Copies of this chain bind each other. A is one copy, B any other.
Amino acid sequence: MAPTPTEVDQKAINTIRLLAADMTAKANSGHPGAPMGLAPVAHTLWQYVMKFNSKNPNWFARDRFVLSNGHACALQYSMLYLYGYDYSLNDLEHFRKIGSKTPGHPERELPGIEVTTGPLGQGISNAVGLAIAEKHLAATFNKPDHKIIDNYTYAILGDGCLMEGVSHEAMAVAGHLQLGKLIAIYDDNHITIDGDTKIAFTEDVRKRVASYGWHILEVERGNTDVTEIYNAIEEAKKVDDKPTMICVKTIIGYGSFNQGTHGVHGSPLKADDIAHMKKEWGFNPEESFAVPKEVADLAKSRQEQGVKFEAQWNEEFKAYAAKYPNEAAELSRRIKGELPAGWEKSLPVYKPTDSAVASRKLSQLVLDDINSALPELVSGSADLTGSNLTNWKDVVSFQPPSTKLGDYSGRYMHYGVREHGMVAIMNGMDAYGGIIAAGGTFLNFVSYAAGAVRLSALSGHGIIIIATHDSIGLGEDGPTHQPIETLAHFRATPNVMVWRPADGNETSAAYKVAVESRHTPSILALSRQNLPQLEGSSIEKASKGAYVLNEDVTDPELIIASTGSEVYIARDAAALLAKQGKKVRVVSVPDFYTFDGQSEEYKLSVFPDGVPALSVEVMSAFGWDKYTHEHFNLDHFGASGPFQDIYNALEFTPEGIAKRGIATIDYYKGKAVNSRVHNAF
């Protein structure tokens, strides 16, 4: 039933506005305007709409909330503080200060923050992922008599989010998938940083979003009318086969002398402006961060309701568990993020006599073998299923049942040609919990998704990007599709694993570590071309990130360090050099990040002092210097032609590598050679 707002509601809304004004003023930094415009929406959501328990922010059945215009976070922190999450007044007073719980943009590790936002367009895309996860787990675990998974996802987004390509991609996916429990609230204030939206944003947003298959609603009195906002949300809930965008007309910086201008967007309000608002709204102009008692009491009543919401659900879950003990145990495990005991035993293991297989195919063989042991794994592709080999036998597509192409319990996502949206959605699925999200594209086009990959790393989402066609070895598609800088890019990003397995055992190792790493995203760089199974590889050794492939060679005079599809060529080069009496160690380095985490002792055992090391990889040498003294890599773009022709032309052959190995041995003869893994501090 629609609330009948009282004066206390109005007071609460103005309290939120003034908290945002005070926070940004005290910080002398931040964005007051959007929080002030959105205060009525936020008040409606927290007080009358969303189910949450602030005493247990991670209660699994909570509604999810995403502030896609993350720069408006003064709003979110104020709400979390008012509604009893673990924030103090001191946190609000230290907005945007080092060590506070109130950084410049909302970060996922903070209480009550579902996903890290700020980079525009990401939050709404994460929200699509959150809503997909809900649909999937509901379809997987609910029973006709027990809707144990049943929550809404709310997102607030602004003009900036709607302009970004990533939101286009994700919102198109949401429309196609008929995510009826996703409710986005568009802060329609006609202002962006550069000024009025008419400068650059004149599209018909409603028509555009409707074209994706969304349900569009309007709220005219967004600055004042809680009931109108509430009713629109109720209206949204009635349509269950379309996501809804509620367009709420607001005035940015409502109450300020400069309301409705971009002057209130990104800089604090002046003291006299804030004082004037406080007087106008019956607050003490001398006081900052004030929360009137009746406002606090109102919020408190909702907090108490939240405790009851969770208690009710816990009862409901008990009844579910009594009737469906296996499902309940499985859901509990997945909610906790624990892996099934022994899942890794299903990873395939190879012998050197097994046949040569492309690592993209090896990846599919892993998926074939582990998917039943790991039911939380949900795979997919950005319209390259047949190339990425991201599916497995008989996998069901995640689709609205009405399409007859699959159902919501399906574990395979068709993202369309939408790489950035895909990864941002995967981040949202990961944030929901209970799912391990994997998704594929060509390695080169992971760059399209760089913004989302970075947030995955920053927020610690354990997603798995299956990145096939990983080098010039893809051949004919040519330089537009051949990564040169991509591995360096992601190796340089904190908290990202970039696996480039050389054979079947290394591919299994990559999956083993990726699946076990629930707070680090992984990119698996996989070949289009066939790779032989290597003597000396094992899941255990590859899981260290780098290891010696030919341990039988003692006192080497040269180390050749390589990755992925070049390792077997390096091995053949070492064999050629052995015929010339040279003792050459071959080191496979499937993942820099994992190797960097090993002990100095182990690292020195792989790259010892006194032995020059030569890297071989058909990509940029950038960053290899941390391990190797010399580099046989690429400092230019690739070429279009059959794979072997390209490798031959660029001399990535046993002979070509051996030649550079000899040059390295000769150059360092008589010189002191320090292992690169040492550091002065």
Kindly identify, within residues 458 to 511 of chain A, every residue whose CB is under 8 Å from any CB belonging to chain B: 458, 475-481, 484-485, 488-495
Residue contact A104 to B476, C-beta cutoff 8 Å: yes
Which of A8-16, A192-200, A544-552 sits within the interface? A192-200
CB distance from A485 to the nearest CB of B (A): 4
Instruction: Give the docked Cα–Cα distance between A629 and B626 (Å).
Output: 9
- Known contacts A117-B480, A476-B104: does B163 contact A639 (CB below 8 Å)? no
Residue contact B492 to A623, C-beta cutoff 8 Å: yes
Residue contact A98 to B169, C-beta cutoff 8 Å: no
Whether A159 is near chain B, meaning CB under 8 Å from some CB there, is: yes
Whether A383 is near chain B, meaning CB under 8 Å from some CB there, is: yes
Which residues from chain B contact A620 at a C-beta distance below 8 Å? 492-494
Which residues from chain B contact A640 at a C-beta distance below 8 Å? 96-98, 100, 103-105
Which residues from chain B contact A476 at a C-beta distance below 8 Å? 27, 29-30, 96, 104
Which residues from chain B contact A397 at a C-beta distance below 8 Å? 199
Residue contact A386 to B211, C-beta cutoff 8 Å: no
Best-buried of A100, A478, A629, A679 by chain B (most CB within 10 Å): A478
- Known contacts A203-B211, A663-B680: does B103 contact A159 (CB below 8 Å)? no
Whether A591 is near chain B, meaning CB under 8 Å from some CB there, is: no
Whether A414 is near chain B, meaning CB under 8 Å from some CB there, is: yes
Contact of A494 among B29, B485, B630 (CB under 8 A): B485
Instruction: Give the docked Cα–Cα distance between A481 and B30 (Å).
Output: 13
Residue contact B159 to A163, C-beta cutoff 8 Å: no
Q: Which residue of B lies closest to A207 (CB)?
A: B211
Q: Mark A630-644, 1 if CB is under 8 A from B, else 0.
A: 100011110111100
- Known contacts A163-B416, A667-B681: does B649 contact A98 (CB below 8 Å)? yes
Contact of A417 among B163, B176, B485 (CB under 8 A): B163
Whether A164 is near chain B, meaning CB under 8 Å from some CB there, is: yes
Which residues from chain B contact A623 at a C-beta distance below 8 Å? 488, 492, 622-623, 625
Which residues from chain B contact A641 at a C-beta distance below 8 Å? 96-100
Instruction: Give the docked Cα–Cα distance between A476 and B102 (Å).
Output: 10
Residue contact B107 to A479, C-beta cutoff 8 Å: yes
Kindly identify, within residues 187 to 220 of chain A, every residue whose CB is under 8 Å from any CB belonging to chain B: 192-194, 198-205, 207-208, 210-213
Residue contact A119 to B630, C-beta cutoff 8 Å: no
- Known contacts A165-B165, A169-B163, A622-B488: does B119 contact A200 (CB below 8 Å)? no
Which residues from chain B contact A676 at a C-beta distance below 8 Å? 625
Q: Which residue of B lies closest to A208 (CB)?
A: B211
Kindly identify, within residues 382 to 421 of chain A, every residue whose CB is under 8 Å from any CB belonging to chain B: 383-387, 397, 399, 403, 405, 414-418, 420-421
Instruction: Give the docked Cα–Cα distance between A104 and B192 (Å).
Output: 41
Whether A439 is near chain B, meaning CB under 8 Å from some CB there, is: no
Instruction: Give the docked Cα–Cα distance between A562 and B97 (Å).
Output: 27
CB distance from A380 to the nearest CB of B (A): 10
Residue contact B403 to A198, C-beta cutoff 8 Å: yes
Instruction: Give the docked Cα–Cα distance between A204 and B214 (Å).
Output: 11
Whether A438 is near chain B, meaning CB under 8 Å from some CB there, is: no
Kindly identify, within residues 36 to 53 of chain A, every residue whose CB is under 8 Å from any CB belonging to chain B: none
Instruction: Give the docked Cα–Cα distance between A274 and B475 (Å).
Output: 24
A-B contact pairs, 28 of them (CB 8 A): A29-B475, A97-B642, A98-B640, A100-B640, A103-B640, A104-B478, A104-B640, A105-B478, A163-B417, A165-B166, A168-B168, A173-B200, A176-B200, A192-B417, A193-B386, A194-B381, A199-B397, A208-B211, A447-B450, A454-B485, A457-B637, A458-B637, A485-B492, A492-B620, A612-B680, A622-B622, A629-B680, A672-B672
Whether A448 is near chain B, meaning CB under 8 Å from some CB there, is: yes
Whether A671 is near chain B, meaning CB under 8 Å from some CB there, is: yes
Best-buried of A160, A383, A666 by chain B (most CB within 10 Å): A383
- Known contacts A164-B169, A192-B383, A494-B637: does B481 contact A105 (CB below 8 Å)? yes
Q: Given A494-B634, A664-B680, 4 more contacts at CB 8 Å? A: A105-B477, A176-B202, A485-B489, A663-B681
Which residues from chain B contact A98 at a C-beta distance below 8 Å? 639-642, 645-646, 649
Whether A610 is near chain B, meaning CB under 8 Å from some CB there, is: no
Which residues from chain B contact A445 at a C-beta distance below 8 Å? 119, 451
Whether A253 is near chain B, meaning CB under 8 Å from some CB there, is: no
Instruction: Give the docked Cα–Cα distance between A637 and B459 (Å).
Output: 10
Which residues from chain B contact A663 at a C-beta distance below 8 Å? 680-681
Residue contact A105 to B480, C-beta cutoff 8 Å: yes
Instruction: Give the docked Cα–Cα distance between A458 and B636 (Å).
Output: 9
Residue contact B384 to A194, C-beta cutoff 8 Å: yes
Instruction: Give the docked Cα–Cα distance between A492 and B475 (Å).
Output: 21
Residue contact A448 to B447, C-beta cutoff 8 Å: no
Instruction: Give the docked Cα–Cα distance between A667 and B678 (Å).
Output: 10
Instruction: Give the docked Cα–Cα distance between A172 and B421 (Å).
Output: 18
Instruction: Give the docked Cα–Cα distance between A403 and B197 (Å).
Output: 12
Instruction: Give the docked Cα–Cα distance between A478 and B450 (Å).
Output: 18
Q: Mark A643-663, 1 if CB is under 8 A from B, else 0.
A: 001100100000000001001
Whether A455 is near chain B, meaning CB under 8 Å from some CB there, is: yes
Whether A260 is near chain B, meaning CB under 8 Å from some CB there, is: no
The 6 A-B residue pairs whose C-beta atoms are closest, nearest first, are A165-B165, A625-B625, A103-B640, A98-B641, A667-B680, A488-B492
Kindly identify, within residues 585 to 644 of chain A, every residue whose CB is under 8 Å from any CB belonging to chain B: 612, 620-623, 625-626, 629-630, 634-637, 639-642
Which residues from chain B contact A205 at a C-beta distance below 8 Å? 211
Instruction: Give the docked Cα–Cα distance between A107 and B638 (Å).
Output: 12
Residue contact A481 to B417, C-beta cutoff 8 Å: no
Which residues from chain B contact A456 at a C-beta distance below 8 Å? none
Whether A668 is near chain B, meaning CB under 8 Å from some CB there, is: yes
Residue contact B489 to A194, C-beta cutoff 8 Å: no
Contact of A203 among B176, B447, B493 (CB under 8 A): B176
- Known contacts A97-B642, A646-B98: does B203 contact A417 (CB below 8 Å)? no
Residue contact B119 to A194, C-beta cutoff 8 Å: no
Residue contact B211 to A211, C-beta cutoff 8 Å: yes
Whether A444 is near chain B, meaning CB under 8 Å from some CB there, is: yes
Contact of A668 among B107, B168, B194, B680 (CB under 8 A): B680
CB distance from A610 to the nearest CB of B (A): 12
